Amino acid sequence: MKKNIGYGLLAFVAISIAFAIFQERGPAPRPAATPEVRETAKDEPAPVPSATKGRAHPAKQAKAAVKRLVIARYCHGNARCSNCIKIEQYSREAIETGLRKDLDSGRLRFEVVNVEEPANRHYVQDYGLYTKSLVLIAEAGGKEVRHKVLNDVWNRLDDKNAFIAYVKSETASYLKQP
């Protein structure tokens, strides 16, 4: 009798482990469109007239017209602790109060994404994430050109002013980079 109970418990543990592994792995992530709305091409250069005397070269005009954008993207999962929520709140406050001019001009955008949703799973690998993170992404012409994970937000959670100053400074610096 004890032997049968032991085998039953062992089978239960094995099934539980297999189920947990299956749940963790889930279906293979498929590349999908990102959830954010991309900027429209309203800033495309106008056609260049054939007479370009006194005007910039067409290639220079096209380069100047490339839309540059910085996205501050807070990436979280389904489980959200109080610190994770605080990171989102402080990040939003830093961006919305400290960089309002850039938000209003369209040069900066703040986004919150759940990386456990199928369409967003690629962000974990794209940015090398291992925990909830604030990521700065620079785009030019609708394509990502670089990104930076602000890992230090975790070290500044106990000091709201230091946290906000850090996010504002890093984001402002990112906005200045070509």
Residue 53 lies in a domain: no
Helices (H) and strands (E) in the chain, counts: 6, 4
Residue 77 lies in a domain: yes
Residue 67 lies in a domain: yes
CATH number at residue 127: 3.40.30.10
Residue 115 lies in a domain: yes
Residue 26 lies in a domain: no
**Residue 141: which domain range?**
63-176
3-state secondary structure of 133: strand
Least confident range from 2-16, 44-58, 114-128, 147-161: namely 44-58
Q: Of 159, 128, 148, nearest to 70 (Cα)?
A: 148
Residue 165 lies in a domain: yes
List b or e across 53-83, with b for residues whose CB sees 16 or more CB atoms inside 10 angstroms: eeeeeeeeeeeeeebebbbbbbbbeeeeeee
Residue 50 lies in a domain: no
Residue 114 · residue 77 · CB < 8 Å: yes
Output the DSSP codes for 53-65. TTS--HHHHHHHH
pLDDT digits (tens, 9 = 90+) for 138-155: 999 889 999 999 999 999
| Interatomic CA distance for residues 103 and 71, integer angstroms | 10
Residue 166 · residue 156 · CB < 8 Å: yes
Residue 39 lies in a domain: no
**Total domains present in the chain:** 1
- Most confidently modeled range among 1-5, 20-24, 31-35, 82-86: 82-86
Question: Is the pLDDT score of 34 beyond 50?
Answer: no
Higher pLDDT, 64 or 102: 102
| Interatomic CA distance for residues 111 and 34, integer angstroms | 11
* Beta strands per DSSP E along the chain: 68-76, 108-114, 133-140, 143-149
